[in-house]
Amino acid sequence: MKSLIHRQRKPADAFAAVILWVMAMAVSFVFVWIVFSIVAGGLSSISREFLTKPPEFSGRSGGISTVLVSTAVILMICLGAAVPLGIATALFLSEFTGNDEWFGRLVRRSLDVLAGVPSIVFGLFGSVFFCRVLGMGYSLIAGGLTLACMVLPIFIRSAEAGLRAVPEEYRSTAAALGISRRAVIFRLILPAAVPGLISGLILSLGRAAAETAALLYTSGYVDRMPESVFDSGRSLTVHIYDLAMNVPGGNSHAYGSALVLVVLLLIINGAATWIGEHGLRRRLIRS
Amino acid sequence: MKFETYSSSRESCCDREACAPVLSASDLSLFYGRKAAFRGVNLDIHEGCITALVGPSGCGKSSFLQSLNRLTDLIPACRIEGTVTCCGKDIHEPATDLIALRRRVGLIFQKPSPLPFSIRRNLDFPLREHGFTDRGEREAKMESALRDVCLWDEVKERLDSPATSLSGGQQQRLCIARALALEPQVLLLDEPCSALDPISSGAVEDLIADLRNRFTVVVVTHNLAQARRIADDVAFFWVKENAGRLIEHGPAEAIFSDPENELTRAYIAGLRG
Amino acid sequence: MDSSGDRWLLWVLRGSAVIAGGVTLLVILFLVAASVPAFQHLGVVRFFTDASWHPAEYAAEGTFNLWPMLVGSLLVTAGAVLIAAPLGVGAAVFCQYYAPGAVAATYRRAIELLAGIPSVVFGFWGLIVLVPMINQWHPPGQSLLAAVLILSLMILPTIAMISDASMAQLPDEYRFSAEALGLTRWATVRGVMLPAAAPGVLTGLILATGRAIGETLAVLMVCGNIVQIPTSAFEPVRTLTANIALEMAYAAGDHRASLFVTGLILTFIVVALVFIVEKINRRFSSLIP
C-alpha cells in the first residue's frame, strides 16, 4: 500500500506514458501493415471474372465462384441448424429455469465446455460423427453441421443474454393479465429480444465464416460447383489455405481470396456492432 | 377447475353480512426462502367493496396482494402456506386454471407497466389472447374501457403511438383500462398512485372511487388520507417478530374513529410508522 | 395449471436444451471412442518414451512420441502470451487512462478489426511477409519465432478487449480518490486501477492462452512443422494442433487413433483453462464492482 500514499517521481510517469504510446503505435503499425498487404496484394486479382468464374489449375487462375457458393451453402446449413436449436435452448434457459435449477446449470456448464473445445477438435469430431457414423462423407452438410456445433455455445450465450435483457416487468405484467406463457414468449419476449438474437446470429456467422480447421476434414477440398449438399465443397478459408500451402504460384489468387474474405467479415462484424449499438427497439413498438 | 367468466349482471352490494366474501385468505403465510413476508393472515374481501390495505413499508401488504392471484408463483424460492379461496374454491389446488384466475382477479402494479406496444395493442393483445376473435368486439371493449378510465378523449387520436409516450398518470390509467377490458371480478391495486405526481394521483384515486360497486377493489396504500377517502373496509398490517401481520381489520369508519388495537390507534394518529 | 399448449412448448424447449447440452457429451464420447485403440495398443507411456514420432497404422511398426509436439505447443503458447500480455494490457490502460478520446476510440476499433481477421489470413500473411523477413535474418524463416509472433497478434485483441472492459467497470471514485491524494497518473494506474481490475485481466489472459493452444492453421502455416524440440527460436517446430491437421488426411489405424488422443489432450487443457476462468469469476464476482 506504500505506493498509494508515496508520491511517485515524475520521470516514472512520463516514461510509462511514452512506453504506452510506443506500444499502441507499434500495434497500430502492424495492423495497418497487415491490412495494407492484403489490400495491395489482393486488389490486382479482384475483378468481375474473379468473383464469377470457377477456379482453374487448382485456383492459380480463374475465379472463386464455386468456392463462394460452397461457403454460402455451408454457412446457411450452419445457421439453419444452430439458430432454431439455439433459440429454443436459450428460451429454456432464460424463461423456464431459475438460476439454481440443476438441469439448467448442467446445460450451461456443458455449453461452457463446448465453447472451449478447439476448432480442430470439432473437425475431428465431425469427420467421425457426421462423415462416417451418419454416412455423409466429405460434404457441405457435414461441414455446416460441424460448424453449427462449434457456434452453438456462442449463439446460445448471446441469445440468452438478449432474452434476459427483456425487462422482468413485461413478464409479470403479462402474467397479471392472465396471458399464457406461450403468448408471452412468442408475442412479447421474442420480439423484444430480436436485436440480441440478430447480433448473436451475426456473431456466429462471423465466427463460422472465419473457420478453417473444422472444415478441412468435414467439407473437404473439392473446388467444383457442388450439385447437392452431399457433395464436397471448399470454403473460402480452405481455398486460401490450399493456395498458400499446396499450390505453387497460387499466391496472387490467395491474396484475392483473402481480401474477399476480410471484406466479407468486415461487413458481418460491422453489422453486428451496429446492431449492438443501435438496437431495433422501434420495430417492436410499431408491430 | 374453470372459473366461469364473470357476468356483469350483479347487484351492487357492500353489505358484509349479506354477501359471501369474493376472496378469502385463511391462515395465509408467505416465505421468501426462510424469511417470512407475512404470517397467519385471515382476511375476507367483500364483493363490491373497496378494501384498503394500510401499514408501513415492508409489512407484507404487496406480497399479500400478489398472493391473491398467485402472481407470487413467478418469484423463485417463494412458498405459501394456508389457503386463499376465490368464490369458495381454493386457488392453490393443482387443477386451478391460472389464466382464468388472473383474468378474474386482475392486478395493477405500483409502477405503471405498459407493454412495449402501441396504446391500441396494449389493450388488444390481452383481449385477443383471452379468445376475443372478433375485431369489432375488441375495439368496442377497448373504447369502453378507455372511457371508464377517462382516457379515451386523450388518446383516441393517437391509439397507434407507443404506450410509453403517455405521461405517468395516463400510463397508469391505461394499465387499469387494460385490466378492466378483461372484465375482472376483483381488481388488486398495489399503491397505484405512489409513483405519480399529485394531479395524476388525484385522477387515479377518483377513478378507483368510481369503480366501487362495479368491481371489488383491493388497494394497497401508504396514504392514510387516501384510504379514509375511498375505502369501505380497512386492513391494517404491521411488522411483528420479523414478519408482517394483520393487526386489525373492519369497516373503515370503525377503524378510523375507534380502533381496537393500540398499534392501529397510534398509526392512525400518525404517531408511528 | 398452465394450459396444454404451454406444457407442449416447455417440452419442446426442454428437448432442445437436452440436444444442445448433449452435443458436448457427443463430442467427448466420439473423441474417447476413437482414441481407445491407441490406448489399447500403445498405452500411455509410449506417447512420451518412444524414440520419435514416426507413426504407423499398427502400433508395433511405428514410434509415437508426442512429447516434442506437446513442448512445441507449450512453447508457442507461452511465447505468444508473453508478448501479447504486456501489449494487450498496455492497450487497455492506454485506451482507458492515457489516450485522448478520439485516439482511444480509433485504437479500440482497430483492435476489434484485428480480432475479426480470420486465422487463415494471419497464417497467409505470416507465410508471405513475416517468414521471408525472418529467413533473411536467420534461415529458415518458418520457425518457433514466426509462430509466436503471428499467434501473439491473434490473441492480443482478446487480452486487450477483456482488460479494457474490466477496467471500464471500475467505479470512477477509485480514480478520483487516488488523484485527490496527489498520485501521478501512472501511480494511480499501477497502484489502484490495475490491482482492482486484476481478476478481469487474468480472465483475459487465460482465455487468450486457451485460444493460443487450440489455434491450428495460422501456426501450421508458419512454424515449419518439423517434429523436434527446438534449441533456438529460429528452429522449426510442430504443435499438437498442426500435427492433427497435417496427418489426418492419410492417417489410419493406431496412427489415426493417436491423433484423436492428441485432440483429447488439447480439449482437456482448454477445458481446464475454462474452468479456472469460471473459478476466478466466481471468487471475485463480489469484488468486481
> Where do the domains of chain B lie?
23-114+184-268
ipTM (interface predicted TM): 0.91
**Residue B14, all three cell numbers:** 357492500
Tens-place pLDDT, residues A204-263: 999 999 999 999 999 988 989 999 999 999 999 999 999 999 998 889 999 999 999 999
Rounded to the nearest 10 degrees, how much is the dihedral formed by the CA atoms of C87, C82, C76, A113?
-80
Task: Tell me the CB-side half-sphere exposure of residue B75, using CA atoms within 13 A.
Answer: 15
In this prediction, residue B211 has a pLDDT band, given cuts at 50, 70 and 90, of: confident
Structural domain that includes position A27? 9-43
Q: Dmax of chain A from CA atoms?
A: 73
pLDDT above 90 (res C35): yes
Q: Do the chains contact at A23 and C91, CB–CB below 8 Å? A: yes
Q: Are residues A158 and A97 in the same domain?
A: yes
Comparing CB atoms, the residue among A19, A124, A185 nearest residue C263 is A124
- Residue C186: per-residue pLDDT: 87
Does one domain contain both A63 and A157? yes
By C-alpha distance, which of A264, A209, A239 is closest to A78? A209
C119–chain A Cβ distance below 8 A for any pair: yes
Residue A4 lies in a domain: no
Model pLDDT, residue A273: 78
Q: Look at residue B126 and tell me whether its pLDDT is greater than 60.
A: yes
For the cut 90, the answer to whether the pLDDT of residue B53 exceeds it is: yes
Pair (A133, A267) in one structural domain:
yes
Residues A193 and A266 placed together within one structural domain of the fold: yes
Partners of residue C2 in chain B, C-beta under 8 Å? 98-99
Find, among A16, A25, A64, A47, the residue nearest to A225 by Cα.
Answer: A64
Q: Exposed (0-12), middle (13-18) or buried (19+): which is A259, by Cβ within 10 Å?
A: buried
Q: With respect to residue A1, please indicate whether it lies within any of the assigned structural domains.
A: no
Q: Is the dihedral angle over the CA atoms B196, B197, B198, B204 positive or is it negative?
A: negative
pLDDT of residue B50 exceeding 70, the answer is: yes
Q: Among B94, B95, B99, whose Cβ lies nearest the Cβ of C3? A: B99
User: Which residue in B has a C-alpha nearest to residue A287's C-alpha?
Assistant: B117
pTM score, whole prediction = 0.86
Q: How far apart are CA A82 and CA A151, in angstroms?
A: 7
Looking at every residue in chain C, the average pLDDT score rounds to 91
Strand partners, B45: B23
Q: Is residue A134 one of the residues assigned to a domain?
A: yes
Q: For each of chain A's 287 residues, which pLDDT tens digit applies? A: 445 445 545 788 889 999 999 999 999 999 999 999 999 999 998 999 899 999 988 888 888 999 999 999 999 999 999 999 999 999 999 988 765 578 888 999 899 899 989 999 999 999 999 999 999 999 999 999 999 999 999 999 999 999 998 888 899 999 999 898 889 999 999 998 988 899 899 989 999 999 999 999 999 889 899 999 999 999 999 999 999 999 988 899 999 999 999 999 999 988 887 877 776 554 444 43
Residues A27 and A92 both lie in one domain: no
Cβ burial of B165 (10 Å; 0-12, 13-18, 19+) is middle
Interatomic CA distance for residues A42 and C31, integer angstroms:
39
What is the number of domains present in chain A?
2
For C216-238, write each residue's pLDDT tens digit. 999 999 999 999 999 999 999 99
What average pLDDT does this structure show over B172-201? 90
All residues of chain B having their beta carbon less than 8 Å from the beta carbon of residue A188 are 115-116
pLDDT above 70 covers a percentage of chain C that reads 97
Answer yes or no: is A3 within a domain. no
Is residue A231 assigned to a domain? yes
Q: With an 8 Å Cβ cutoff, are B96 and C1 in contact?
A: yes
Tell me whether B131 touches chain C (CB under 8 Å): no
One domain for residues A222 and A162: yes
CB–CB contact C270 A117 (8 Å): yes
- pLDDT of amino acid B18: 54
Do A76 and A36 share a structural domain?
A: no
What letter would DSSP give residue A55?
E
Q: Is B97 on the interface with C (CB under 8 A)?
A: yes
Quick: pLDDT tens for C36-51: 999 999 888 898 888 8
Is residue A277, in this structure, part of any structural domain at all? yes
- Nearest-CB residue to C185 (from A13, A23, A96): A13
Min Cα separation A12/chain B (Å) = 54
- Tell me how far CA of residue C168 lies from CA of C85, C102, C171, in angstroms: 18, 16, 8
Query: From the list A170, A172, A178, which residue is nearest B99 (CB)?
Result: A178
Question: Which chain A residues are within 8 Å of C26, Cβ to Cβ?
Answer: 125, 129
| pLDDT > 80? residue C118 | yes
Q: What is the pLDDT of residue C81?
A: 97
Right CATH for B23-114+184-268 from 3.40.50.10490, 3.40.309.10, 1.10.10.1100, 3.40.50.300: 3.40.50.300
pLDDT at position C286, please?
A: 54
Cα within 13 Å of Cα(B157), Cβ side: 2
Residue A90 and residue A27 share a domain: no
The residue with cell 505453387 is A248
Domain containing A148 — which CATH number? 1.10.3720.10
Pair A23, A146 in one domain: no
Looking at residues B230-240, what average pLDDT do you find? 91
Do A69 and A35 belong to one domain?
no
Report if residue A213 sits inside a domain: yes
Is residue A29 domain-shared with residue A81, that is, in the same domain? Answer: no
C-alpha cell at C19: 440436444
Burial class (CB in 10 A: 0-12, 13-18, 19+), A245: middle
Q: Does B99 touch chain C (CB under 8 A)?
A: yes
CB-CB neighbors (< 8 A) of C1 in chain B: 94-98
Task: For residue B69, list chain A residues with Cβ-Cβ distance below 8 A.
Answer: 176
HEC string of chain B equals CCCCCCCCCCCCCCCCCCCCCCEEEEEEEEEECCEEEEEEEEEEECCCCEEEEECCCCCCHHHHHHHCCCHHHHCCCEEEEEEEEECCEECCCCCCCHHHHHHHEEEECCCCCCCCCEHHHHHHHHHHHCCCCCHHHHHHHHHHHHHHCCCHHHHHHHCCCEHHHCCHHHHHHHHHHHHHHCCCCEEEEECCCCCCCHHHHHHHHHHHHHHECCEEEEEECCCHHHHHHHCCEEEEEEEECCEEEEEEEEEHHHHHHCCCCHHHHHHHCCCCC
**CB-nearest partner of A176 from B106, B116, B162:** B106
Q: How confident is the model at residue B193 (pLDDT cuts 50, 70, 90)?
A: confident
- What pLDDT, on the 0 to 100 scale, is given for residue A92? 93
- Tens digit of pLDDT for each residue in B136-180? 999 999 999 999 888 999 999 999 999 989 998 899 999 999 999
Separation CA A88–CA A155 (nearest Å): 11
Query: Is the residue at A265 inside a domain?
Result: yes
B170 Cα to chain C: minimum distance (Å): 32
Task: Give me the residue from A12, A86, A120 closest to C245, CB to CB.
Answer: A120
Q: Which three cell numbers stand for residue C49?
A: 518414451
From residue B196, alpha-carbon distances to B60, B114, B169, B191, C14 in Å are 22, 15, 6, 10, 42
pLDDT tens string C196-222: 899 899 999 999 999 999 999 999 999
Nearest CA to CA, how far is C182 from chain A (Å)? Answer: 7
State the Cα–Cα distance between residues B146 and B123, nearest whole angstrom. 9
Given a cut of 90, whether residue C21 has pLDDT beyond it is yes
Do residues A94 and A25 both lie within one domain? no
Confidence band, pLDDT 50/70/90 cuts, at residue C1? very low
Phi, psi of C103 (to 5 degrees): -65, -45
**Whole-number percent of chain B with pLDDT over 70:** 92
